[in-house]
């Protein structure tokens, strides 16, 4: 059930009073959810990486991204939006997730998302590996029906199983499509690149309801053309945005589990996210930040800015 925006949002801690490097590391130094009456958008961590197929470490992603987000300021000069003044954004902490049982962890995340969104609050979830997208989509689809999934990633994540396991970070969108959670006429991958197992991967992906804007197409056709294709595909549907940080080239985001050469620049990704201001965003996640492989917080800074642009796109006009 949606509610009108909070009339007088509480914003980040004033950096002229408390230095940005001090205090509790909430996202962008925002208030904790427990310290505000209600929130229009809640930021929540999902510290889970038991679904990875290669390098681990994304369970430490929420804390790493929060730490890097200390430097964010409250005004978006490109879109002329104050995302923390236009809506109440609060940090809900981390979900309690079982690291030893994927099925139970998925249930934990879905249950936590249901609790946080029961009054119409939208979620921006910081992962964690991409497995978390499945329970988050289950929650969003229960509220809005099938949603257009806008998926930024180097990989399709529509594979069937891995070592016989049906729920991993490489399968969430196949399961979501099979369960009827996504709008098969409006869902889209952006930034796909790198070798695949076989041609059938692309055929399966199309059958499951996804169009693709590959990384090399953005290079060949230009960013403006890619944005036009993206917006045309999404239309006026409710949209869920899922950003795997490995959509970025490893030069911009080395701290991730399955890096691929030839990715988007951070400038390109942020520009595409800024184009979503007129889209009906019902939820989002930023996943696969793995601090053990990061350098000088490059990946965490990129992820924090990705989250900031998503929050800016979610902000209502005031």
| Span 96-127, pLDDT tens digits | 999 999 999 999 999 999 999 999 999 999 99
The rounded distance, in Å, linking the Cα atoms of 221 and 213 is: 10
Q: Flag whether 129 is marked binding.
A: no
Cβ 245 vs Cβ 286: under 8 Å: yes
157 labeled binding residue: yes
Does 155 show up as a binding residue in the annotation? yes
| Confidence category of residue 14, pLDDT binned at 50, 70, 90 | confident
Determine whether the annotation assigns residue 153 to a binding site.
yes
**Could you report the per-residue pLDDT of 187-243, keeping only the tens digit for each?**
999 999 999 999 999 999 999 999 999 999 999 999 999 999 999 999 999 999 999
Q: Which phi and psi angles does 242 have, rounded to 5°?
A: -125, 120
Q: Please give the structure tokens belonging to residue 59.
A: 């369970």
Contact 311, 83 (CB under 8 A): yes
CATH number at 27-314: 3.40.800.10
- CA-atom Rg of the chain in angstroms: 18
> How far is it, in rounded angstroms, from Cα 126 to Cα 188?
21
């Amino acid at each position: 059930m949606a509610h009108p925006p909070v009339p007088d949002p509480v914003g980040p801690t004033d950096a002229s009073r408390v230095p940005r490097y001090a205090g509790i590391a909430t996202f962008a130094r925002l208030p904790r959810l427990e310290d505000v009456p209600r929130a229009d958008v809640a930021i929540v961590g999902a510290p889970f990486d038991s679904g990875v197929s290669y390098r681990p470490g994304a369970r430490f992603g929420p804390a790493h991204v929060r730490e890097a987000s200390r430097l964010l300021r409250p005004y978006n000069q490109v879109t002329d939006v104050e995302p923390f003044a236009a809506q109440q954004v609060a940090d809900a902490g981390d979900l309690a997730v079982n690291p030893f049982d994927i099925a139970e962890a998925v249930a934990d995340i879905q249950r936590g998302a249901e609790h946080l969104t029961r009054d119409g609050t939208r979620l921006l979830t910081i992962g964690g590996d991409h497995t978390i997208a499945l329970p988050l989509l289950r929650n969003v689809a229960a509220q809005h029906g099938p949603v257009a999934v806008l998926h930024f990633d180097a990989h399709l994540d529509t594979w069937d199983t891995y070592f016989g396991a049906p729920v991993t970070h490489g399968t969430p969108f196949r399961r979501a499509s099979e369960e009827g959670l996504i709008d098969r006429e409006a869902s889209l991958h952006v930034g796909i690149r790198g070798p695949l197992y076989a041609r059938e991967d692309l055929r399966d992906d199309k059958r499951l309801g996804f169009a693709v804007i590959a990384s090399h197409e953005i290079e060949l056709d230009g960013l403006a053309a890619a944005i036009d294709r993206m917006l045309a595909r999404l239309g006026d549907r409710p949209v869920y945005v899922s950003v795997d940080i490995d959509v970025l080239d490893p030069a911009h985001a080395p701290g991730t589990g399955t890096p691929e050469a030839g990715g988007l620049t951070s400038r390109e990704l942020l520009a595409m996210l800024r184009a979503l201001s007129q889209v009906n965003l019902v939820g989002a996640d930023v996943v696969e930040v793995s601090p053990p492989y990061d350098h000088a917080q490059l990946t965490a800074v990129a992820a924090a800015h990705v989250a900031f642009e998503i929050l800016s796109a979610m902000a209502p006009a005031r």
